[in-house]
Amino acid sequence: MSVGFRAVQWNRDKLVYDGLLLAAVALYITVFLVVVPRLEPPKDVLGEIDLRIRAFGSATFLMLTAILAVGPLTRLNRRYLPLLYNRRHFGVLIFFVAITHVWFMIDWYLMQDALPSLGTELTTWPDYGKFIGFPFKVLGLAALLVLFVMAATSHDFWLSFLTPAVWKALHMGLYVAYGLVVMHVSLGAMQFNRTPFLPLMLVGGFATVSVLHVLAARRERVIDQGTTVGTDGWLLVGTPQSIPDQGARIVAAPGGERIAVFRDGTRIGALTNLCAHQNGPIGEGRIIDGCVTCPWHGFQYRLEDGRAPAPFTEKLGTYRVRLRAGAVEVDPRPLPPGTPAAIDCKA
Amino acid sequence: MKRSHRAVHRALWPVLAVAVALGFALALDLRVPPDDPPATEAKTP
């Protein structure tokens, strides 16, 4: 959290995250540039540039696959939450790896004084009517544009300016970029390179991302189906003991937004499941130092009233809770953000 | 994510996944056979 503007807020965890990320990318590129020439020695300088194009291109695809796997992985297992912590830096790095791929492609043309032929490739309009023979570089450039927009708006300034809901919707463009990259490789490199490596990489990456999303969606759908609603519209949560201590149970009215019902010892409070920072799933977080803590980036709120502890000013919508016949119930009509609503279930 | 975002996410994913899977399968199926010299190899990296 921050009470003032800072270009980038570094901390030890972010430095470790970025360091490991950079090391992994550097290792991949180095291994690629050392191993592949032994299998297919480049014939000339153009062959060497082509090797770099492939190294950075395949790195971009694998990084996109990895970043798209992070979301569902964290849903399926909390152990993967550290991967999500600095995901935005991961995204920005993907943009830089992708633009390096493009730079080597331009270099390939420059080496032959043939840059205009790149323009010709992109503006041979009849080719846009073909499937095999489609100007596949356009698909790559479109993906690069999406990655640029996402990298350019990755800062908290844009998150605040656009609002978390709009920002989140904008950043779903990553799925479009991924689809464009798969088709860029399918209609490009895969047509000229006969090794089974490229189809296997595409199928493996795409299948991994798809299966993880399907598994996570099946798990999430259960919550959205809604919980038991009483005659007066209150939702049944369960006994106080059914809520993990210093954790939460997530409930929702059919067709309604999710509500995180937390228990801290004998105190029970209900907050919106949307963190004020990035709409992260606050109900998947824990109570740390007496505050509800978002699992994504550690934003904290008091259980009592959903307000961030001073000097921070974020506040969440709260919900009325009650204990009836030994069971906790929650009123799905939200109270204004920051309204005290927690109860004690000692009795 | 808000409920509306999840709804968009759930609608967008299958459509994109099917479109890309079909595109990939078609691109693989229509590849020039290995015996034929690929006509475009010389002009593009």
- Tell which wins on pLDDT, A168 or A47: A47
Using an 8 Å CB-CB cutoff, list chain B residues near A179: 16, 19-20
Mutate to test the interface with B, among A124, A170, A191 (most CBs of B within 10 A): A191
Distance from CA of A183 to the nearest CA of B (A): 7
Q: How far is CA A175 from CA A147, A150, A159, A327, in A?
A: 10, 12, 19, 42
Cα–Cα distance between A87 and A71 in angstroms, integer? 10
Sheet holding A235-238, edge to edge: A235-238, A327-330, A321-324
Residue A40 at interface with chain B, using a CB cutoff of 8 Å = no
Among A102-111, A262-271, B3-12, whose mean pLDDT is lowest?
B3-12
Across the interface, do A182 and B23 touch by the CB < 8 Å criterion? yes
Whether B41 has a pLDDT exceeding 70, the answer reads no
Q: How far is CA A260 from CA A238, A282, A333, A338, B45, in A?
A: 13, 7, 13, 15, 53
The number of beta carbons lying within 10 Å of the beta carbon of residue A230 is: 12
Whether A6 has a pLDDT exceeding 60, the answer reads no
Confidence class of residue B9 from pLDDT cuts 50, 70 and 90?
A: confident
Nearest to A108 among B10, B28, B45 (CB): B45
Residue B41 DSSP code:
G
The number of beta carbons lying within 10 Å of the beta carbon of residue A132 is: 15
Q: What is the pLDDT of residue A7?
A: 56
Q: What is the rounded average pLDDT for all residues in chain A?
A: 91
Interface pTM (ipTM) of the complex?
0.80
Nearest to B23 among A133, A186, A217 (CB): A186
Q: What is the pLDDT of residues A275-333, one digit of tens each?
A: 998 888 999 899 998 899 998 888 999 999 999 998 999 999 999 999 999 999 999 99
Using an 8 Å CB-CB cutoff, list chain A residues near B20: 179, 182-183, 206
Query: Look-up: residue for tokens 């041979």?
Result: A124
Question: What residues in chain B have their Cβ under 8 A from chain A's Cβ atoms?
Answer: 1-3, 5-6, 8-10, 12-13, 16-17, 19-21, 23-24, 26-28, 30-32, 34, 38, 40-41, 43-45
Residue A93 at interface with chain B, using a CB cutoff of 8 Å = no
CB < 8 Å & 24+ apart, contacts of B12-17: B12/A172, B12/A175, B13/A175, B13/A213, B13/A217, B16/A175, B16/A176, B16/A179, B17/A206, B17/A210
Length of chain B equals 45
Q: Are A258 and A223 in contact (CB under 8 A)?
A: yes
With 0-12 / 13-18 / 19 or more C-beta atoms within 10 angstroms meaning exposed / middle / buried, residue A336 is exposed
Confidence class of residue B40 from pLDDT cuts 50, 70 and 90?
A: low
Using an 8 Å CB-CB cutoff, list chain A residues near B45: 46, 49-50, 53, 105, 108-109
Residue A125 at interface with chain B, using a CB cutoff of 8 Å = no
Q: How far is CA A239 from CA A52, A102, A193, A325, A329, in A?
A: 60, 58, 61, 9, 9
Name the packing angle between helices A45-76 and A173-187 (round to 10°). Answer: 140
Among A31-40, A311-320, B27-36, whose mean pLDDT is lowest?
B27-36
With 0-12 / 13-18 / 19 or more C-beta atoms within 10 angstroms meaning exposed / middle / buried, residue A225 is exposed
Across the interface, do B5 and A165 touch by the CB < 8 Å criterion? yes
Q: What is the pLDDT of residues A181-238, one digit of tens each?
A: 999 999 999 998 888 999 999 999 999 999 999 999 888 888 777 777 777 889 999 9
Across the interface, do A50 and B45 touch by the CB < 8 Å criterion? yes
Closest residue in A to B45 (Cα–Cα): A50
CA dihedral A77, A80, A85, A86 (to 10 degrees): -140
Query: Look-up: residue for tokens 């229509």?
Result: B30
Cα–Cα distance between A98 and A102 in angstroms, integer? 6
Using an 8 Å CB-CB cutoff, list chain B residues near A202: 24
SS3 letters for chain A?
CCCCCCCCCCCHHHHHHHHHHHHHHHHHHHHHHHHHHHHCCCCCHHHHHHHHHHHHHHHHHHHHHHHHHHHHHHHHCHHHHHHHHCHHHHHHHHHHHHHHHHHHHHHHHHCCCCHHHHHHHHCCHHHHHCCCCCCHHHHHHHHHHHHHHHHHCCCHHHHHHHCHHHHHHHHCHHHHHHHHHHHHHHHCHHHHCCCCHHHHHHHHHHHHHHHHHHHHHHHHHHHHCCCCECCCCCEEEECHHHCCECEEEEEECCCCCEEEEEEECCEEEEEECECCCCCCEHHHCEEECCEEECCCCCCEEECCCCECCCCCCCECCEECEEEECCEEEECCCCECCCCCCCEECCC
Distance from CA of A130 to the nearest CA of B (A): 12
3-state secondary structure (DSSP) of residue B20 = helix
Q: What is the pLDDT of residues A118-146, one digit of tens each?
A: 999 999 999 999 999 999 999 999 999 99
